[in-house]
Amino acid sequence: MINAVGRDIPDAVLAETGKTVFRGSRHFDGYSYEKTAVKARARIGGEGSKLEKDLQEVLRKCNAHDGMTISFHHHFREGDLVAMQVMQAIHDMGFKNITICASSLSKAQDALVPMLEDGTVTHIESSGVRGKIGEAISEGKLQGIAILRSHGGRVRAIETGETKIDIAFIGAPSCDEYGNCRAVGGNSNCGVLSYSAIDAEYAEYVVVLTDCLVPFPNFPADISMTDVDYVLKVDAIGDPEKIATGAARPVTDRRKLMMAESCAKFIAATPYFKEGFTFQTGIGGAASATALCLSEKMREKNIHMGFGAGGMSKPMCDLLDEGLVSCLLDTQDFDLPSIENLISHPKHFSISTKEYADPFCKGAVVNKLDFV
């Protein structure tokens, strides 16, 4: 069937996913829907602790089963240790036909490939697939379909019930015994937990893995105790030094710098480049460098940015420190300086991915952007 941009989508894919072809974003303007129901469990009295000692026991308590859907977030990027700890336990327990719904997958999860081949994992839903997992999918080693969505589209799929998460696993740099999570305050700070907020709200069970237990209450919490079922203390959840790897390294490639300079010139030549303009940059080398080049244009014309949004890196934080941008709306931190800036600067705000880009909500930050 032909979609709104002229691509022929195989009928077999539509039948397996239950989807219809894309008919254009404007088709959904004003669209109304019912959010999916969430099973809730009361927790009355008790010892005031959700601490568990064994991951396999936690899986049993969460009714782990063949064919379940589990989720992970990618705020630790290439330093993530949570996903493979969980998947190894699932593999050891013999579960099959697992769907992984991750905000992104990278080479930190390369060890998943044998689990694709033996049928432990048969479906993947993500906003990005890199490394050996991407190669394995391209080579047909995944038995089911891989669905890639935008970050906002992932929120929509969970909220509408298109994707139903049985168990969400959240790596938290600090957590108290009752489940209040923060993305800072521990050994493996990642800055924000924006991608996992929707998982915590809609998953049937929510399990927090942390390598830093702190006294109750761990406030202000990025993920609240009201959404958490179990807390598991592990040796390590991630290596924060590996957040600033790959595309997050400082840009020295002359070709990428030339691209960034051209982008900044183009932005400065448009009528949208005026006092209070809004801007988002990603973590690609040229994209990060564009923020640096753009700052020169802003100083030349004495123009200030209204807000900067999306994933943050040092160049964007430098704009905030200099007063060239009024505030930052942060969904992910790509390097250690951006994490430190989030902790120290009162105008560096953490926002959820729903607030950032959910297309089925009453207003998202992406709708307010002039440049991306």
Query: 289: buried, middle or exposed (CB in 10 Å: 19+, 13-18, 0-12)?
Result: buried
Q: What angle do CA 79, 215, 234 make, to 5 degrees?
A: 35
User: What is the pTM assigned to this prediction?
Assistant: 0.94
User: Which CATH number, 3.30.450.20, 3.40.1080.10, 1.10.490.10, 3.40.50.720, labels domain 245-368?
Assistant: 3.40.1080.10
- Report pLDDT for 249: 59
DSSP codes, 214-277: -PSP--S-SB-GGG--EEEE-S-SB-GGGGG-GGGSPP--HHHHHHHHHHHHHHHTSTT-STTE
**Does an H or E element contain 137, and which?**
helix 131-138
- Asked if residues 248 and 280 have their Cβ atoms less than 8 Å apart, the reply is no
Where are the domains positioned within the chain?
1-28, 49-243, 245-368
Domain 49-243 is found in CATH 3.40.1080.10 = yes
Quote the CA–CA distance of 264 and 65 in Å, as a whole number. 51
Cis peptide before 346 (omega within 30 of 0): no
pLDDT tens string, the chain, 372 residues long: the values are 999 899 999 998 888 888 888 888 777 888 899 999 998 888 887 777 999 999 999 999 999 999 999 999 999 999 999 999 999 999 999 999 999 999 999 999 999 999 999 999 999 999 999 899 999 999 999 999 999 999 999 999 999 999 999 999 999 999 999 999 999 999 999 999 999 999 999 999 999 999 999 999 999 999 999 999 999 999 999 987 787 554 455 677 889 899 999 999 999 999 999 999 999 988 777 888 899 899 999 999 999 999 999 999 888 999 999 999 999 999 999 888 899 999 999 999 999 999 999 999 999 999 999 999
Strands 98-102 and 51-52: unpaired
Residue 248: predicted pLDDT: 52
User: What letter represents residue 79's amino acid?
Assistant: G
Cα–Cα dist 36/93, whole Å: 30
Domains 49-243 and 245-368 are alike in CATH topology: yes
CA-wise closest residue to 190 among 173, 203, 206, 175: 173
Q: Which two tokens stand for residue 244?
A: 């600033």
Q: Cα–Cα distance between 295 and 302 in angstroms, integer?
A: 10
User: Of 304, 76, 248, 67, which is closest to residue 169 (Cα–Cα)?
Assistant: 76
